[in-house]
Structure 1
Amino acid sequence: MSKKKKLERDVERARGVGSFEEAETWLSDRGLQDIECIVPDQAGVARGKMMPVEKFISGPNMTMPTSIFTQTITGDYPEDEEFDDIYDPSDGDLVFEPDYSTLAVVPWASDPTAQIIHDAYYKDGRPVDVAPRQVLKRVIDLYRHKGWKAVVAPEIEFYLIEPNTDPDYPLKPPIGRSGRPEIGRQSYSIAAVNEFDDLFDDIYEFSEAQGLEIDTLIHEEGSAQMEINLLHGDPLELADQVFLFKRTIREAALRHKMYATFMAKPMSQEPGSAMHIHQSIVDMETGQNIFSDANTGNPTTEFFSFIAGQQKFLPHVMCILAPYVNSYRRLARNTAAPINVQWGYDNRTVGLRVPNSSPQARRVENRTPSTDSNPYLAIAASLACGYIGLVEGLKPDDPISGSARHLPFGLPRDLLGAVELFENCEELADIFGKSFIATYRAIKQQEFETFMRVISPWEREFLLLNV
């Protein structure tokens, strides 16, 4: 059997898995030895356990401590009395159950290995309300209870960079097949993409083996900045894909002696990296896009209310869409990143763009999230804002036809200000819940305190001998 045919068979089998029995057969047929049992934490980092397939089959559920969802990006834990009141101080175990539909091979592993994403539950069977995958499921259910189904399509930007083991040194673009690094901007350049053909061949191969579907691959504005667009579909499935894509792209890059980074602003003189989210809502019974009138094809009141909800509440979820201090370096005036939540038709200077499309494909592109965001939480937050607009019948501002880059900032300028907006929004508290908001606030405040212990080159350059 050819390598291509073998990959096609693997993808087909993996997509058909929906139960423990089917998973057991699939693992056995593949001759897989190990399995990575993974769960996305608040940062979107894969946590979990590696175990022999035989052990997984003997008992697919696993346990890990509650603190798996309270760890900061630096590996610390919040020091917050209000936060302590929410959690069991004994840090007892949670139960993690596999979602068999996510079973796939790990194509870069040296030994035959599988991977499977898990959901988190308390010992009494309740979903863990602070687990990012469960947060997104709750938002999806809000739409389902109204007879709607959300559809999303993420776009993931990232940089390829030269390996850098010393954080005191700035990052640099890697060397391509020409033997030279990129210097100038190469937006949409095919030649610039071809510089890394071997790497992208591996990304496509790894993706195919895992059943991940790439729509397009382009070179973005920055030096060695790339963008992968995914096909539209179910929000949970697409969040899973982004989660797995990040792992895949990093692993493929390492094979070629370079790094792939999803930092929002990795290089000071280069554009930031975004994760744009295209969103539409369909009626579950008819399959009709509720943003378009079935008879005339014109925009509906629901379309405008969804936009209005995003305009009003996206600033309140920016700590999720821009989750780190570095994220706010991306949101700068006169760059490709938006600084407000204005909206417009086919307008890339606003936070909310309505691309040209047929009535059935009418959608809203949220351009505010950065690529460092947790895809489960970012998609949940974006859809939650639109949902509030729908149920409250909100009305948007007039669309912007020219540039919005000269208009005032409509988004928070820093992480702590964004966190404050999030925790004080009653409408969002009803959706995300007290436990998640307290947990997320404590994590972000702890990360900020860790950041404040670091003295930057700017401070040494301008303050050392001048103040």
Structure 2
Amino acid sequence: MKIEPLVSPSTAELKAALQSCETARSGGKPTRLVECAFGDFTSVARGKLVHADDFTGMGGCRAPSVVMGLTLTAGEPEAVFGPLLPDSYDDMHLVPDLRTLSARPGRPGELTVLCEPTGALRSATGMVDASAYSPRAALRAVLARLDAAGLQALVAPELELFLLDRDAQARLSAARAHGGSLTRERACEALSLERLSHFEAYFDELYAACDLLGIPVNGHAHESALSQYEVNFRHGEPLAQADAVFRFKRLAREIAARHGYLCSFAPKPFLDEPGTGMHWHFSVQRQAADWPHLFAEPAGADSAALAHFVGGLQRAAPAAMAFFSPHDMGYDRIALSNASPSHASWGHEDRSLAFRIPASGASARRIENRLPGGDANPYLTVAATLGLGLLGLQAAEPPMDDSDELLRLPRSLPTALDALHASQALRELLGDPLVNAFIAIKRHEHAERAALAQPREQWDLTHLLELG
């Protein structure tokens, strides 16, 4: 598997893109600053604000490679720096994908664009291009495989989130709608429109920012846990949808902070409440075919290809759980399951299944991956799901029976990381540099957390709650 670095736009293309955004904005105010953003393994938005002239002059901007190897707590694992990434923190070039260039919500005269790192970096095994560590670049590589097979995909995510208050003693409670006399939710008000109305100002601002950035939100509701909400997205092209989720999580947190409370995608903030999922719906289409819908026959029956896609997912699910549940807290979501799958099971309609086939017509037949938690990286989640499903298709893998012990999912992060380390399928799809760096970072985080007297309180609720 070779990840091709993103091609740098020419100076003329950069200037034309800036001019187009300026023209689209009311009044055509000149751009002063451009935000160059990219995601690390935790999908925290990192990058720089640079002057528009520097942005066009440099074709993006530069950033130190250290940010690709940091843990959630800004740790620098010895297993990463030196063996995998340069311990001298060599610079990378952040190449903008101009398809993602947009006005920055709430910041007149500023634009934002998603970038990918490129440039040769030193490692113990030789020179490696920075793109080999990029989750976004890895997804592009999987989509190139899909295209080479004459296929394309549509995906639609569903994101759950919590709106919370945290007091001086770090105790969590349901958020109170600030600025009024509205009461705090005391028990779960699932699908309550009345409770939802208390946070209309927050969701109004969030939707307006999503519209500006082209994030295809499609509605929201109160979910089945105290202070938990779900936001649905319309279906779209996989890379654009992963970009949308990456941007959405940041927006949701930033706007909540302005409203006086905390938005969290952490997988299990309350042990006695349902966890936070990031469910993805996947459909696959044949290119240039009279009947393009791969997962169903024209008469409506499931196709053999759907079963093979599921078979590929099932066989590598224990290893993929390292991506779907990348922090220790996520395994509380599995152990204390509430509609969170504990086995790589599949079937129709049942929401306890890992790979659910929702009721649908033949042209809308799809597979819902219900394994990812809210803290999963969207690029790695989509890349792993589509890549493993494609391998299943190509090998005509049969689906596994629910009684098969191999379907049992890991109950801890170290077990999932061991499975990922041994997974030839995911190494083939994502590349050894990315897989090795991801494992080293997550093992460091696990050891750091395990050394604490109160791991959940001192690590999960201190760090993951706000950054997952």
TM range (shorter): 0.7 to 0.9
> 2:461 corresponds to which residue?
none
Cα offset, 1:304, TM superposition: 0.5
Question: Is 2:29 aligned against 1:25?
Answer: no
Question: Is 2:129 aligned against 1:131?
Answer: no
Q: Where do residues 68-107 of structure 1 align in structure 2 (5 Å cutoff)?
A: 68-80=67-79, 84-107=82-105
Distance 1:148 1:60, change over 3 A: same
Q: Where do residues 30-41 of structure 1 align in structure 2 (5 Å cutoff)?
A: 30-31=28-29, 32-41=31-40
Aligned to 1:255, which of 240, 255, 258? 258
Q: TM-score, normalised by structure 1?
A: 0.87
Q: TM-score, normalised by structure 2?
A: 0.87
Residues 219-267 of structure 1 show CA distances to partners (whole Å, capped at 9, x for unaligned) of 1011110111111111110000001101111122122111101111112
User: What amino acid does structure 1 have at the position aligned with 2:105?
Assistant: P
Aligned to 2:431, which of 419, 433, 445? 433
> 1:454 corresponds to which residue?
452
Conserved? CA contact 1:66–1:93, under 8 Å: yes
- SS state of the match for residue 221, structure 2? strand
> 1:11 corresponds to which residue?
none
Distance 1:175 1:394, change over 3 A: same
User: What amino acid does structure 2 have at the position aligned with 1:171?
Assistant: L
CA distance in 2, matches of 1:28, 1:277: 34
Distance 1:373 1:137, change over 3 A: same
Worse-matched range after superposition: 220-229 or 63-72: 63-72
Conserved? CA contact 1:127–1:134, under 8 Å: no
- SS state of the match for residue 331, structure 1? helix
Question: Is 2:274 aligned against 1:246?
Answer: no
Conserved? CA contact 2:321–2:416, under 8 Å: yes
Conserved? CA contact 2:84–2:433, under 8 Å: yes
Residues 325-369 of structure 1 show CA distances to partners (whole Å, capped at 9, x for unaligned) of 111111135512111111111110111110011101100000000
User: What amino acid does structure 2 have at the position aligned with 1:376?
Assistant: Y
> 1:4 corresponds to which residue?
none
Residues 100-136 of structure 1 show CA distances to partners (whole Å, capped at 9, x for unaligned) of 1101122133x53211000121249956111111111
Distance 1:108 1:254, change over 3 A: farther
Conserved? CA contact 2:158–2:278, under 8 Å: yes
Cα offset, 1:54, TM superposition: 2.7
Conserved? CA contact 1:38–1:118, under 8 Å: yes
- SS state of the match for residue 340, structure 2? coil
Cα offset, 1:169, TM superposition: 2.7
> 2:156 corresponds to which residue?
153
CA distance in 1, matches of 2:216, 2:79: 42
Conserved? CA contact 2:15–2:56, under 8 Å: no
User: What amino acid does structure 2 have at the position aligned with 1:115?
Assistant: T
Conserved? CA contact 1:178–1:195, under 8 Å: no
> 2:172 corresponds to which residue?
171
User: What amino acid does structure 2 have at the position aligned with 1:245?
Assistant: F
Residues 402-455 of structure 1 show CA distances to partners (whole Å, capped at 9, x for unaligned) of xxxxx9981111111100000101222211221111101110111112112211
> 2:465 corresponds to which residue?
none
Structure 1 stretches of at least 4 aligned residues deviating more than 4 Å after TM superposition: 123-127, 457-460
- SS state of the match for residue 151, structure 1? strand
Question: Is 2:134 aligned against 1:140?
Answer: no
Q: Where do residues 190-205 of structure 1 align in structure 2 (5 Å cutoff)?
A: 190-205=193-208
Question: Is 2:200 aligned against 1:184?
Answer: no
Worse-matched range after superposition: 18-27 or 335-344: 18-27
Conserved? CA contact 2:449–2:455, under 8 Å: no
Question: Is 2:290 aligned against 1:292?
Answer: no
Aligned-residue Cα RMSD (Å) equals 2.5
User: What amino acid does structure 1 have at the position aligned with 2:176?
Assistant: I
Aligned to 2:115, which of 110, 114, 118? 118
Conserved? CA contact 1:163–1:257, under 8 Å: no
Residues 250-300 of structure 1 show CA distances to partners (whole Å, capped at 9, x for unaligned) of 12212211110111111222211000010111112237111112x433211
> 1:12 corresponds to which residue?
none
Aligned to 1:347, which of 333, 350, 359? 350
Conserved? CA contact 1:154–1:230, under 8 Å: yes
Structure 1: 5+ residue stretches without partners: 1-17, 401-406, 461-467
- SS state of the match for residue 296, structure 1? coil
> 1:56 corresponds to which residue?
55
CA distance in 2, matches of 1:184, 1:409: 35
Cα offset, 1:458, TM superposition: 8.8
Conserved? CA contact 2:119–2:129, under 8 Å: yes
Conserved? CA contact 1:341–1:350, under 8 Å: yes
Cα offset, 1:305, TM superposition: 0.4
Give the paired residue count.
Answer: 433
Distance 1:54 1:281, change over 3 A: same
> 2:231 corresponds to which residue?
228
Distance 1:181 1:306, change over 3 A: same
User: What amino acid does structure 2 have at the position aligned with 1:369?
Assistant: P
CA distance in 1, matches of 2:148, 2:411: 35
Aligned to 1:283, which of 274, 282, 286? 286
Distance 1:399 1:89, change over 3 A: closer
- SS state of the match for residue 223, structure 1? coil
Conserved? CA contact 1:344–1:399, under 8 Å: no
CA distance in 1, matches of 2:441, 2:410: 18
Distance 1:299 1:178, change over 3 A: farther
CA distance in 1, matches of 2:273, 2:103: 35
Structure 2: 5+ residue stretches without partners: 1-11, 122-127, 459-468
Cα offset, 1:144, TM superposition: 0.8
> 1:14 corresponds to which residue?
none
User: What amino acid does structure 2 have at the position aligned with 1:239?
Assistant: A
